[in-house]
Structure 1
Amino acid sequence: MSDQDSSASASQTEGEFEGEMDGEVDGEGERDEYHRESPAPSLSSFSPSLRAVVRIKQKYQAMKKRRQEMSLGLAGAGALTGAPARTSPKIFTFDGLTPSSFPTLTSTIAQRKKRRKRKRVLYPNSGGCKAPPKQEQSRAKYCLYLLFAIVFIQVYNAIENLDDHVLRYDLEGLEKTLRREVFGQQGVVEVLLSHLKDYLSTYVHNKPLVVSLHGPSGVGKSHLGRLLAGHFRSVVGETLVLQYYVLHHCPQEADALQCARNLSTLISEMVQRAEEEEKIPLFIFDEAEHMHDEILDELWQLVASKQSNEYLNAIYLFLSNLGHAHITKHMLHNSSSISMAMTASGRHSNLGKELTPILRNILEKRHLLWTEADILPLGLLEKGHVMECFLDEMTREGFYPDHTNIERLAGEIEYYPEVGGREYSQTGCKQVVAKVNLL
C-alpha cells in the first residue's frame, strides 16, 4: 500500500467519525466492518495515524465540553420556566464543580471559622507590661488588726485577774487541809472543792452558791464546817465569816421571828462590807435540821429572790442530818455490790447519783430553801476511818500513837453487822474525843 492510499484511508476515517458525531448515528458497526475489510496498516503509516488520533481526541474533548455547557444552560432555563428536567442519566465528574456552585457549604465553613476565632483566648505579650499593677490596700485592715490586739489583751487580763482572784482564797491550801483532817469523805471533799473553785474564779455572779451536806451523826459534817470557817477567816477576815448554830443562837421557838430578823440584818451588813472589800463572805449553818420555819423563810428570800449584786456574791453552807436514815439504809444494803478496788470519788459518785433524788424529794418537802441548794450526801465511816480519827486525836493530845492501843479503842466503838467485808460505825468518830480524854 502506498502513502497516498494510507492518507486517503485516514481522511476517510476522520470524515466518517465527524459524520457520526454530527448526525448522532451509531457508527460502531460500520467501523468494525471497515476494519475487517481493510487490511492492517504497515509500519510506514504509523506517524500519520497517530496524528489523526490526536486530532480526533481534541475534537472529542471540545464536543464534550460544549455538550456540558448546553446541559447546564438547559437545566437553568427549566428551573426558571417550569420545564421538565431531563431524565437521561448523567455522568458525575469534578470538572464542572466550582466554589460558586455550593455557596451554603462555604458560608457554613466561614461561620465556623469566625466562631473559632471568637473563642480563642488572647494573652498579653510578655514584653507589654513589665511591672504588675499595684493593688490598693484597705485601711480597714489595720483597724481589724487593732481590734484583734485589744481583744487579746482584754482576754489575757481577764485570765490573769481570775488567777489572782482564786489565789486570794488559797484553795490549794484548803484542799491539803481537808484531805489531811477529813477521814472517809474524800469524794465529798473533791466535789465541794470543785464547787468552790468554779464559784471563786470570778467575782460577778447571777446567784449565790448554796451547798447542803447531809449525813448520819459522827461522819464529819461539823468538823468539815469548822475547817472551812477557819480557812476563810484567815483569807477574807473574821468579819466575813459567820458560823450559825441554831441551838445556840436561837434555842427558843418563840424567838424564831426575832432571830430571823436579826439574822437578816447581820447578813446584810456582812455582804455590804464584803462588797466594799471585793470579797465573798461565807455563811455556815450547822444543825440545820433544828432551824425554825421563820429563819428558813428569811434565808430563802435572800437566796432565791433577785437581790442586788452584793447578795449574789456569797456562799451558804448548810450542815444537817436530814435524810440520814435513807443514807444508812442505802449503804448497808448496797455495800456488797460496791467493788473493793473502787476509789473514794467513785464510791461517792455512785452514792450521789442514787441518793440525791431521794434526799432532794425529802428536803423540798421540808422547805423550798433546798430547791436552790446542791445536795452532797456523806456516807458511813468504816472501822479503818475510825482508827485514823483515834490516831489524829491521840497525836493532838500528845499520846504515843500505839497501833495496839488504837485497835483496842476502835474495837470499843459500836458497829453495824459486817456487810461486803466492811464494818460501818454506828456513831462515826463522835466518841473518839471522849475516849481519848479517858486515857
Structure 2
Amino acid sequence: MKHRRKHVVLLWMLVCSGLAEAIEPISTSIAVGMAAALTGFLASYPNILYYFHECCRPEWISFNKTGLDVDLEKRLFGQHIATRIISKAVNGFVNNDKPKKPLVLSLHGWTGTGKNFVSKMIAENLYKEGMHSSFVHVFTSELHFPHASQIETYKSQLQQWIKGNVTNCAQSMFIFDEMDKMQPGLIDSIKPYLDYYDRLDGVSYQKAIFIFLSNAGGEKITETALDFWKAGKNREEIKLCDLENALSLSVFNNKKSGLWRTCLIDKNLVDFFVPFLPLEYKHVVQCVLAEMEARDLEPDKGIANQVARDLIYFPKSERVFSATGCKTIISKLDYYY
C-alpha cells in the first residue's frame, strides 16, 4: 500500500506539472480524467504528501530523548557537565507544550571538545533529516558576517532570516558557529526573538532553539580544570556552579567573544552557559576508537594510542590536555590506515 501511494503521488505530480501532455498516446481528456481521479484519491488521504516531503509536522519533527541520552553517554567523551545540562535542558524544553521563551544555549570551550558534535546530536534526535533538515539553520561568522562595515545590513538580514524561518516552522533551530569571531553588537539584533514575548508581529518564537558555539571562555574553563588536576581532584568533581558565573562574566567582558557587553547576557536570556572541558589523553583514545567503530573498522587500541600520542598537549611539561581535542583524529586515523 505504501508503494502504491508513492506511485500515485508521483503520477499526480506528473499530471499536475503538465508533463502528461507529452506522453503518447494519452489524450488530454484521459489526462484530465486521471487528474480528477487522483484528486479524489488524495482527498481520501490528506496526509499522504507529508510523508514524501519534509514539513513542519510530527512526522518530521519528533524528539527522541533516549536517542539523545545514548548519544551523549556513548559518543561524547570527557564532558560530564555538558552531558547533564544538554539532556535536561533539551528534554525539558521540547516536552513543554507552552514554553515562555525559546531555548538558548551557549556552548563554550576549546576547539575539538564536542560543541559542534553536540549541536549535531540535538538536530539528529529532533529532526528526521538531522542537520540536513530545512528547519536547521547554521550561521558561521566568517562566512555570513565577515565585514564590520556592513554590520547594519547583517542585522537586518539576520532578523529577516530568523523571522522568515520561524514563520515557516515554529520549531526551527539556529546554530551560530564561531561566536568568538562575530562582529560585536550583531547578535543583539535578535534579542527580541529570544525574549519573553508571546508574539512579535504575529509570529511566536517560543518553540525555537538557538545555540551559540564559541571558543571564548576556554581559558577560564581550562584554568579551572588545571586547578582541579593540580589539587589531585577528579575532573568529574567539577560542577556547573564552579564555572557558570565566571564563564558568563568572562564572555561578557571579552571583546573577542561576540557576546561582549551583549544585552542577551545582561537581560538573562541565555538559559545555560555550557562549559566543555579540555580533553585528556584517555578521551582522545576513546574518540579514535569511536571513529573506528563508525567506519566499521575493528577497534585497535594500538592504533588509537598511536593517534593520541601524535597530538600536542599542554602544559608542555605535564602533557595533560589535548590542544586540539579530538578535532584532528580523522586525518590522523587516515594516515595510520
**Global fold match (TM > 0.5):** yes
Tell me whether 1:404 sits opposite 2:294 in the alignment: no
* Counterpart residue number, 1:32: none
Residue 338 of structure 1: CA displacement?
Answer: 5.3
- In the other structure, the counterpart of 1:176 is 70
Determine the structure 2 residue equivalent to 1:300. 191
Q: Which amino acid aligns with 1:426?
A: A
Structure 2 runs not aligned, ≥5 long: 1-57, 254-259
Q: CA deviation at 1:348?
A: 4.3
Number of the residue aligned with 1:391: 289
> Is 1:239 aligned to residue 134 of structure 2?
yes
Partner of 2:139, secondary structure, is strand
The one-letter amino acid paired with 1:245 is T
- Distance in 1 between the 2:147 and 2:127 partners? 29
Q: Secondary structure at the match of 1:169?
A: coil
Q: In structure 2, what is the Cα distance between the partners aligned to 1:228 and 1:206? A: 20
Query: Does residue 1:209 correspond to 2:103, yes or no?
Result: yes
Corresponding residue SS for 1:259: helix
1:250 aligns with 2:141: no
Q: Is this contact kept in 2: 1:210–1:315, CA < 8 A?
A: yes
Deviation (angstroms), 1:197: 1.6
Aligned counterparts of 2:328 and 2:320: Cα–Cα separation in 1:
17
Structure 1 position 302, deviation (Å):
2.0
Q: In structure 2, what is the equivalent of residue 360 of structure 1? A: 248
Q: Following superposition of structure 1 onto structure 2, how do residues 29-428 of structure 1 map, counting pairs within 5 Å?
A: 168-234=62-128, 238-275=133-170, 280-304=171-195, 306=197, 308=199, 310-337=204-231, 339-340=233-234, 344=236, 347-349=237-239, 352-365=240-253, 366=260, 367-370=262-265, 371-373=268-270, 374-397=272-295, 399-417=297-315, 423-428=320-325
Give the structure, 1 or 2, with the largest relative contact order (CA under 8 Å, sep 6 or more): 2
2:98 aligns to what SS in structure 1? coil
What is the TM-score of this pair, normalised by structure 2? 0.70
Alpha carbons of 1:219 and 1:272: their partners in 2 closer, same or farther (altered >3 Å)?
same
How far does residue 315 in structure 1 lie from its aligned partner after superposition?
A: 1.4
* Contact 2:65–2:125 (8 Å) recurs in 1: no
Residue identity matched to 1:298: S
Does the CA-based 8 Å contact 2:220-2:250 persist in structure 1? no
Normalised by the length of structure 1, the TM-score is 0.55
Higher helix share: 1
Distance 1:259 1:230, change over 3 A: farther
* Counterpart amino acid of residue 126 in structure 2: F
Please tell me the residue identity of whatever aligns with 1:355. Answer: L
Q: Do the aligned residues in 1 keep the contact of 2:284 with 2:325 (CA within 8 Å)?
A: yes
What is the distance in 2 between the residues matched to 1:322 and 1:210?
Answer: 17
Q: Which has the larger radius of gyration?
A: 1
> How much has 1:294 moved relative to structure 2?
4.6
Taking a change above 3 Å as real, the CA distance of residues 412 and 397 of structure 1, as seen in their structure-2 partners, is same
Q: Which runs of 4+ in 1 moved over 6 A?
A: none
- 1:398 is displaced (CA, Å) by 5.1
Residue by residue, what CA displacement relative to the aligned partner does 1:97-130 show, whole Å, maximum 9, x if unpaired? Answer: xxxxxxxxxxxxxxxxxxxxxxxxxxxxxxxxxx
Residue 376 of structure 1: SS of its match in structure 2? strand
User: In structure 1, what is the Cα distance between the partners aligned to 2:87 and 2:304?
Assistant: 31
> SS at the partner of 1:435?
helix
